[in-house]
Amino acid sequence: MVLGNGGENGNGNGESVSEFQLGKKNRYKRMESDPLEEEQEEEELQRHHTKKFVVACAIFASLNSVLLGYDVGVMSGAIIFIQEDLKISEVQVEVLVGILSIISLLGSLAGGKTSDAIGRKWTIGLAAIVFQSGAGIMALSPSFAVLMIGRLLAGIGIGFGVMIAPVYIAEIAPAVARGSLTSFPEIFVNFGILLGYVSNYAFSGLPAHINWRIMLGVGILPSIFIGFALFVIPESPRWLVVQNRIDEARLVLCKTNGSDIEVEERLKEIQLAAGSVNAEKYEVKSVWKEILKPSPSVRRMLITGCGIQCFQQITGIDATVYYSPTIFKEAGIKGNTQLLAATVAVGFTKTLFILVAIILIDKLGRKPLLYISTIGMTTCLFCLSLTLAFFGNGKLGIILAILAVCGNVAFFSVGIGPICWVVSSEIFPLRLRAQASALGAVGSRVSSGVIAMSFLSVSRAITVAGTFFVFFVISAISVAFVYNCIPETKGKSLEEIEMLFQDETERVEVEMEDAARLVQNEPK
């Protein structure tokens, strides 16, 4: 009885000892499990913060791409009023439009060297400053000559920005999200194009001697935000390793990777890729000599990287964007306001479908999206050529032309538009990445410039319909290029991708070099 009463009243609450002990046991279990749950929550929170930080870095690094997109979009409409105000010829129009792409190759070539010397981050800032100067001169120019000076400066700034943003993002992003993040510059190019089209439409009602100046001057605004971005984004960890700033690289990797284990693994991979060399030895390596006299694997990388850059442009996307008013005028649309309104629809389509690419690029992979893109573009270019040839100057022709142009830019945006920059920024080894990516960007810019500067003359010679039939043929060839030359890189680290281009002999040599380096670095 005493035992029974004690058992009933021992806890002062009428609970039995066994119940009390069971309660204590459960409580102990919960207490023991809490640290594990808290640790998991902390890891999940850390991954969430890491993801947000990397996305923020990709956004800030991509702001220069808004400048390129805005210039492309706004010039398609501004050129109508520039021609009216400054009384320039059709040849001068072609030169003004196309020279930006040609001259930007100087920025791209210098950008590779500059980004190796001062870092990826500060090259982004330099690009913004140079473009801002050019845009200001263009907006205030009293003559065609001064306008061209501003255009040349803007082109150099764009050349810097075009090559450095994908390289920076590829080097800072984790492998699992690199495809979508490296596509951000193309998103911002499309967003800039859309802003340019909207600017054309918004200011088209002003007098011709004022509206185009405002259109061009508004392009300065995005570069102001880039100044703030430089205080937020870190330097590329891979560039820091090349500079032997290992501790700084580790700090950056801690911000961009989910766990300490991942950080150390990534750091070791980068150090191996860097060859444990410092910046001075990196210069002696003579990167350009290796590019100009490439090994078989580097040759395959150059064909892939430069080839996809050229195909991105020679399929006529810049002609479609720059001269969309000319295309729609050929189809039968009359009046500047109506022409500019139709181009806004093109801009919305191009921007919308780049978001589809971002969602799918790390799920479906690079190659399937490239097939969808190139085959779709080929079909739309063929339809546009037929429409302009047989259904022009009618309601049906207008509708079909708008659908074909929107379809072309949609398929471009869902595949080769963004993936071009993803592939060309991730396939090259660290020692060559900046310079080889710059070379690819040069191919892109030269191709763009040639297309933009010759479109009106070629169209006059073989008609607009004939010109787009030529683009159709080139686009069909790009499908074969994707099949033969583009490997799938989804989910692979930058160092693993390098191995895809090596044959068995080269792979063995690299493994032996890495093994020897590890033995040398082993503590004795």
Q: Which amino acid is at 78?
A: A
- For the record, the structure tokens of 272 come out as 């191996």
- For the record, the structure tokens of 263 come out as 């950080």
Tokens 């270019």 sit on residue: 381
Mean pLDDT score, 452-478:
92
Q: How remote is the C-alpha of 504 from its chain's centroid? A: 32
Mean pLDDT score, 233-254:
88
Predicted confidence at residue 297, as pLDDT, reads 85
pLDDT tens, position by position, 300-354: 888 998 899 899 989 988 888 878 888 888 888 877 778 788 888 888 888 888 8
**CA distances from residue 415 to 157, 391, 447 in whole angstroms, order as listed:** 26, 29, 19
CB 387 within 8 A of CB 401: yes
**CA distances from residue 121 to 29, 36, 115, 237 in whole angstroms, order as listed:** 50, 39, 8, 11
Q: Binning pLDDT at 50, 70 and 90, where does residue 194 land?
A: confident
* CATH number attached to the domain at 45-233: 1.20.1250.20
For the ranges 1-10, 278-287, 340-349, 380-389, the lowest mean pLDDT is seen at: 1-10
Decide if pLDDT at 233 tops 50: yes
Closest CA to 490 of 310, 355, 372, 360: 360
Q: Binning pLDDT at 50, 70 and 90, where does residue 3 land?
A: very low
Residue 523 has a CB neighbour count (10 Å cut-off) of: 3
pLDDT tens, position by position, 396-409: 888 899 999 999 99
Q: Binning pLDDT at 50, 70 and 90, where does residue 2 land?
A: very low
Mean pLDDT score, 67-83:
84
Mean pLDDT score, 190-199:
86
- 300 vs 291: CA distance, rounded Å: 11
Mean pLDDT score, 218-242:
84
Predicted confidence at residue 407, as pLDDT, reads 94
pLDDT tens, position by position, 42-57: 667 777 778 888 888 8
Q: Binning pLDDT at 50, 70 and 90, where does residue 505 land?
A: low
Is the model more confident about 106 or about 507?
Answer: 106
Is the model more confident about 369 or about 182?
Answer: 369
Numbered ranges of CATH 1.20.1250.20 in the chain: 45-233, 294-507
Three-class SS state of 171: helix
pLDDT tens, position by position, 202-218: 888 888 888 899 998 88
- 516 vs 521: CA distance, rounded Å: 9
pLDDT tens, position by position, 406-447: 999 999 989 898 888 788 878 888 777 777 877 777 778 788
Is the model more confident about 344 or about 109?
Answer: 344
CB 401 within 8 A of CB 335: no
Decide if pLDDT at 13 tops 60: no
pLDDT tens, position by position, 359-388: 888 788 889 999 999 999 999 999 999 999
User: How many Cα atoms sit within 13 Å of 241 on the Cβ side?
Assistant: 24
Is the model more confident about 195 or about 260?
Answer: 195
Q: DSSP characters for 108-149?
A: HHHHHHHHHHH-HHHHHHHHHHHHHHHHHHHHH-SSHHHHHH
Sign of CA dihedral 491, 494, 498, 499: negative
Closest CA to 16 of 25, 5, 26: 5
Q: Binning pLDDT at 50, 70 and 90, where does residue 184 land?
A: confident
Q: Where do the H-state alpha helices sit in 257-316? A: 260-274, 279-284, 287-292, 296-314
Q: DSSP characters for 36-60?
A: HHHHHHHHHHHHHHHHHHHHHHHHH
Contacts of 521 (CB under 8 A, 6+ apart): 276
Predicted confidence at residue 468, as pLDDT, reads 94
Specify the fold of 294-507. Answer: Growth Hormone; Chain: A; (1.20.1250)
